[in-house]
Structure 1
């Protein structure tokens, strides 16, 4: 039985619901990176990073391959980077609107 599209979307967004996963995806936007570089950038335990990478792999957002002794990760599709960019735009718009509301509230309180 096929999963409804709205449910598949919800699962995708749940996958994005962890700061480490978002950070990994951000780091991979510029191309493949070895696990050791991800560890150095994110500064978490290797086992925790491994768990988060596994979640991203299962969700199909990243792929991995070996390059000699290194395990490399990359975004599975450029659309993942597009999604992150859209998230930044939405967040910027939401925060901008909140700042405007805060200014209006302060002006009205006088």
Structure 2
């Protein structure tokens, strides 16, 4: 059972391992959007956005609902927003630590 859960987690994180996919999830965290709206907000080509939405949909991370002649995408689980926030905090913590180390090195270099 543990190996299946680890495999699921691995596949889940692989699905997130693309900058445009992350951007799409950040956009959808603000609310449901059509492909055109996502394309505009992501400042990316429609084909690239569609391709990445296909990956996210195949991994059950986003869902698409047909409304007339367009598809409206949404996050399948609102906890994705929390995951993105946690990832941002981890990144900021690492960045802060790096800046602190660089400041110490700069200060040490000035003393020499």
TM-score, normalised by the number of residues in structure 1: 0.91
Counting helix residues as a fraction of each chain, which structure ranks higher? Answer: 2
Unaligned runs of 5+ in 1: none
Looking at structure 1, the residues matched to 109 and 13 of structure 2 have their Cα atoms a distance apart, in angstroms, of 38
Looking at structure 1, the residues matched to 54 and 90 of structure 2 have their Cα atoms a distance apart, in angstroms, of 27
RMSD: 1.7
Matched, 1:27 2:45: no
Q: Report the Cα offset of residue 59 of structure 1.
A: 1.1
- Give the match for residue 92 of structure 1: 92
- Give the match for residue 72 of structure 1: 72
Q: 4+ runs of 1 displaced by more than 4 Å?
A: none
* Corresponding pairs, count: 110
Q: Report the Cα offset of residue 2 of structure 1.
A: 9.1
- Give the match for residue 102 of structure 2: 102
Q: Report the Cα offset of residue 108 of structure 1.
A: 1.4
